[in-house]
């Protein structure tokens, strides 16, 4: 039988309250574990479910499928936010975890593209959409639930434990993946990648059991008992300008910047090390895991600090620091992770000479486009190899060329690569460019002997600390911006638009920018611009909330 926990105003949390918060946080860890498995295994999933595309398109499309789950998160926020404000916090996020867990388990049993063709990616994206809908309802419920149990003056500290759950979920997923790789060896890439998804069934059972033991939020119970509940939370949240204005400002002045700092510091860094710097997957995951382990306590530190100096100061400082230092930090990752790329690009720069009109922005949202111009062929090859290059305009109608130092290789007008003539041309082009790159010192993969792991961990930990600055206080800030009767609905939408759209599409957008420009750092302009926007809007238009009474 669930125990009802009540809270006296200003009283410290006793053992029962801490148990409630731990149970809520633990369930959220499991949810984020489920969601991040896909992100961590994007490269393998691209091979399994998008093998009908070329390698560059397959990876970008796998990232788009990852982003698809984020795209629907705002809709989950609307659906489950409304239910949470009408029915209660407890039962709403009990439903979300069941949907999330089942969807993740089913990814582990999906047939591959080789087995069922286009039905495989369709089914995969469907499950990703269900995961996104569930997660859209999860965070607002957990954050609201914990905040409404916490005493005044400690909400930043206690909700910071919810913020840890996202990083712990990623950490757990990395550990499970590494363990499965060690156990299964070469079989992991063919079928063993399914095991972490299947293990989510155990986590689901534990999470459901824990959440069934929880009681409803005392603040929500009090509101209901006093008859102050909303009968139309969507209307009150978004059809009344007084509240809608705060929703918009919370999005642009808080969660958008928080999201890009979060995803750049954890996911984009993960992809940058593996996809661009060609550091092997196991080393990459261990480096990220080490940085997460070191950085995670800072969530609580900055949550605690926000109770003293304010949510706004901590979050906006994190956005500003990230925007100012991202470029040098990522250049440092290259210097300490794969210095051969840095040296080769300085001594023998690569240039694509092409008619700009023939160069495409190579993002295929439906898997039907073909990028066959000589410019696209050249850029696709270099992007796949993680080779930085510059662009030089050529006269209209000319065939693109790749210059590696003093060596010039003509590209070709492509077509269906299954046709022998195009396949042969592609192989010949790849062989010629590959030989020129090797002679110029460009590595096929990072040399383990040249990887400075301690310095990489320092830089990655700094990225994680930025994450903790923007993410640690955000739950308390959002909860305090809105009244109890529409809190779940109002705070969930800006959070999930910010994290689902601004953050979720960051890896795809950044890599597409890199493929277009050839500059391996150019994708960083996206998170830098969004973080600066949030800093300015939040500074000028959002209020500090640490001292408000959330029981109203």
> Are 495 and 401 in the same domain?
no
Q: Give the pLDDT confidence score for residue 1 in this predicted structure.
A: 34
| C-alpha–C-alpha distance, residues 17 and 13, integer Å | 5
Q: Give the pLDDT confidence score for residue 544 in this predicted structure.
A: 96
* pLDDT, tens digit (0-9, with 9 covering 90-100), for 429-453: 889 999 999 999 999 889 999 999 9
Domain C-terminal end among 392, 416, 439: 439
Average pLDDT rounded to a whole number, residues 234-255: 92
pLDDT higher than 70, residue 233: yes
Whether 130 and 99 have beta carbons less than 8 Å apart is answered as: yes
Domain C-terminal end among 416, 439, 462: 439
Best CA proximity match to 158, nearest among 465, 464, 468, 472: 472
Average pLDDT rounded to a whole number, residues 180-202: 90
Residue spans of beta strands (DSSP E) within 90-234: none
> Are 245 and 316 in the same domain?
yes
* pLDDT, tens digit (0-9, with 9 covering 90-100), for 159-180: 888 888 777 887 888 889 889 9
> Are 492 and 430 in the same domain?
no
Adjacency order of strands within the sheet including 407-410: 390-393, 350-354, 401-404, 407-410
Read off the pLDDT band of 315 (50, 70, 90).
Answer: very high
Please tell me what DSSP assigns to residue 190: I
**Domain CATH number, residue 414:** 3.40.30
> Are 328 and 381 in the same domain?
no
> Are 224 and 328 in the same domain?
yes
pTM of the model: 0.83
> Are 238 and 180 in the same domain?
yes
Whether 312 and 370 have beta carbons less than 8 Å apart is answered as: no
Q: Give the pLDDT confidence score for residue 474 in this predicted structure.
A: 95
Whether 170 and 186 have beta carbons less than 8 Å apart is answered as: no
Average pLDDT rounded to a whole number, residues 247-263: 96
Nearby residues of 349 by Cβ (< 8 Å), 6 or more positions away: 389, 390, 405
* pLDDT, tens digit (0-9, with 9 covering 90-100), for 19-65: 667 767 776 777 678 767 877 787 788 788 877 666 666 666 776 77
Q: What are 354's two structure tokens?
A: 């092409």
3-state secondary structure of 31: helix
* pLDDT, tens digit (0-9, with 9 covering 90-100), for 352-399: 999 998 887 765 544 456 677 888 888 888 887 888 999 999 999 889
> Are 382 and 466 in the same domain?
no
> Are 324 and 363 in the same domain?
no
Mean of the per-residue pLDDT values for the chain?
85
Per-residue DSSP letters for 59-81?
HHHHHHHHHHHHHTHHHHHHHHH
Q: Is residue 6 part of a domain?
A: no
Q: Is residue 55 part of a domain?
A: yes
Q: Is residue 46 part of a domain?
A: yes
Read off the pLDDT band of 253 (50, 70, 90).
Answer: very high
Neighbour-count burial for 444-459, b at 16+ CB within 10 Å, e otherwise: eebeeeebeeeebbeb
Q: Is residue 466 part of a domain?
A: yes
Q: Is residue 3 part of a domain?
A: no
Read off the pLDDT band of 7 (50, 70, 90).
Answer: very low
* pLDDT, tens digit (0-9, with 9 covering 90-100), for 469-502: 999 999 999 999 998 888 888 888 899 899 878 9
Q: Is residue 2 part of a domain?
A: no
- Using only C-alpha atoms, the chain has a radius of gyration, in whole angstroms, of 24
| C-alpha–C-alpha distance, residues 109 and 95, integer Å | 22
The end-to-end CA distance of the chain, in Å, is 29
Average pLDDT rounded to a whole number, residues 178-199: 90
pLDDT higher than 60, residue 205: yes
Q: Give the pLDDT confidence score for residue 433 in this predicted structure.
A: 92
Whether 118 and 51 have beta carbons less than 8 Å apart is answered as: no
Average pLDDT rounded to a whole number, residues 175-197: 90
**Domain CATH number, residue 64:** 1.20.1250.20
Domain assignment of residue 420, given as a range: 342-439
> Are 291 and 410 in the same domain?
no
Read off the pLDDT band of 98 (50, 70, 90).
Answer: confident
CA of residue 544 relative to chain centroid, distance: 27
Q: Give the pLDDT confidence score for residue 5 in this predicted structure.
A: 40
Domain C-terminal end among 385, 408, 439: 439
- Kindly give the residue spans of alpha helices, DSSP state H, lying in 108-255: 113-116, 119-147, 155-184, 187, 194-198, 200-212, 218-225, 233-238, 241-250
Q: Give the pLDDT confidence score for residue 8 in this predicted structure.
A: 43
Q: What are 269's two structure tokens?
A: 């860094």
Proportion of the chain in helix, strand, coil states, percent, rounded to 5: 75, 5, 25
Instruction: Give the total number of structural domains in the chain.
Output: 2
pLDDT higher than 60, residue 418: no
Q: Give the pLDDT confidence score for residue 194 in this predicted structure.
A: 93
Nearby residues of 288 by Cβ (< 8 Å), 6 or more positions away: 170, 174, 266, 269, 270, 273, 460
Task: Specify the range with the lowest mean pLDDT, choosing from 143-152, 260-269, 296-305.
Answer: 143-152
Read off the pLDDT band of 118 (50, 70, 90).
Answer: confident
Task: Specify the range with the lowest mean pLDDT, choosing from 6-20, 174-188, 263-277, 325-339.
Answer: 6-20
Q: Is residue 100 part of a domain?
A: yes
Classify strands 350-354 and 390-393 as parallel, antiparallel or unpaired: parallel
Q: Is residue 550 part of a domain?
A: no
pLDDT higher than 60, residue 251: yes
> Are 132 and 262 in the same domain?
yes
Q: Give the pLDDT confidence score for residue 427 in this predicted structure.
A: 82
* Structure-token match 């209660």, residue found: 88
> Are 405 and 272 in the same domain?
no
> Are 348 and 324 in the same domain?
no
Between 414 and 410, where is the model more confident? Answer: 410
């Amino acid at each position: 039988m669930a125990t009802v926990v009540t809270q006296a105003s200003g009283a410290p949390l006793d053992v029962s309250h801490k148990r409630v918060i731990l149970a809520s946080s633990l369930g959220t860890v499991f949810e984020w574990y489920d969601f991040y498995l896909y992100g961590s295994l994007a490269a393998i999933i691209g091979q399994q479910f998008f093998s009908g595309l070329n390698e560059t398109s397959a990876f970008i499309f796998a990232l788009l499928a990852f982003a698809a789950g984020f795209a629907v998160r705002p809709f989950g926020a609307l659906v489950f936010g409304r239910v949470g404000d009408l029915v209660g916090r407890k039962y709403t996020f009990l439903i979300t975890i069941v949907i999330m867990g089942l969807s993740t388990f089913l990814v582990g049993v999906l047939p591959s593209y080789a087995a069922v063709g286009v039905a495989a990616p369709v089914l995969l994206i469907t499950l990703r959409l269900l995961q996104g809908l569930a997660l859209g309802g999860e965070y607002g419920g957990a954050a609201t639930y914990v905040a409404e149990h916490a005493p005044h003056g400690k909400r930043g500290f206690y909700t910071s434990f919810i913020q840890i759950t996202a990083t712990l979920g990623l950490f757990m997923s990395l550990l499970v993946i590494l363990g499965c790789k060690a156990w299964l060896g070469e079989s992991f890439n063919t079928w063993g990648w399914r095991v972490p998804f299947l293990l989510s069934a155990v986590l689901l059972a534990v999470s459901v059991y824990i959440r069934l033991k929880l009681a409803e939020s005392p603040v929500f119970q009090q509101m209901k008992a006093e008859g102050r509940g909303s009968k139309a939370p969507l209307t009150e949240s978004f059809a009344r300008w007084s509240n809608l204005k705060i929703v918009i400002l919370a999005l642009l002045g808080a969660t958008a910047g928080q999201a890009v700092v979060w995803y750049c510091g954890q996911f984009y860094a993960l992809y940058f090390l593996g996809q661009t710097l060609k550091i092997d997957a196991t080393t990459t995951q261990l480096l990220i895991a080490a940085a997460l382990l070191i950085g995670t306590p800072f969530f609580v530190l900055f949550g605690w600090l926000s109770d003293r100096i304010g949510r706004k100061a901590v979050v906006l400082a994190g956005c500003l620091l990230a925007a100012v230092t991202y470029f040098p930090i990522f250049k440092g990752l290259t210097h300490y992770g794969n210095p051969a790329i840095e040296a080769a690009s300085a001594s023998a720069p690569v240039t694509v000479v092409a008619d700009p009109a023939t160069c495409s922005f190579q993002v295929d949202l439906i898997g039907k486009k073909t990028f066959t111009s000589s410019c696209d062929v050249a850029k696709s090859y270099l992007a796949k190899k993680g080779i930085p290059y510059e662009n030089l305009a050529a006269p209209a109608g000319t065939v693109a060329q790749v210059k590696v130092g003093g060596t010039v290789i003509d590209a070709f007008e492509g077509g269906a690569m299954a046709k022998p003539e195009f396949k042969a041309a592609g192989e010949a082009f790849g062989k010629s460019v590959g030989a020129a790159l090797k002679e110029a010192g460009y590595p096929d993969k990072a040399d383990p002997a040249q990887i400075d792991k301690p310095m990489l961990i320092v830089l990655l930990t700094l990225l994680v600390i930025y994450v903790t600055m923007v993410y640690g206080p955000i739950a308390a800030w959002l909860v305090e911006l809105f009244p109890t009767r529409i809190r779940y609905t109002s705070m969930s939408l800006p959070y999930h638009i910010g994290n689902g759209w601004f953050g979720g599409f960051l890896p795809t957008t950044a890599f597409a920018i890199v493929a277009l420009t050839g500059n391996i750092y150019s994708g960083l302009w996206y998170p830098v611009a969004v973080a600066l926007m949030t800093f300015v809007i939040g500074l000028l238009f959002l209020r500090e909330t640490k001292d408000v009474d959330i029981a109203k």
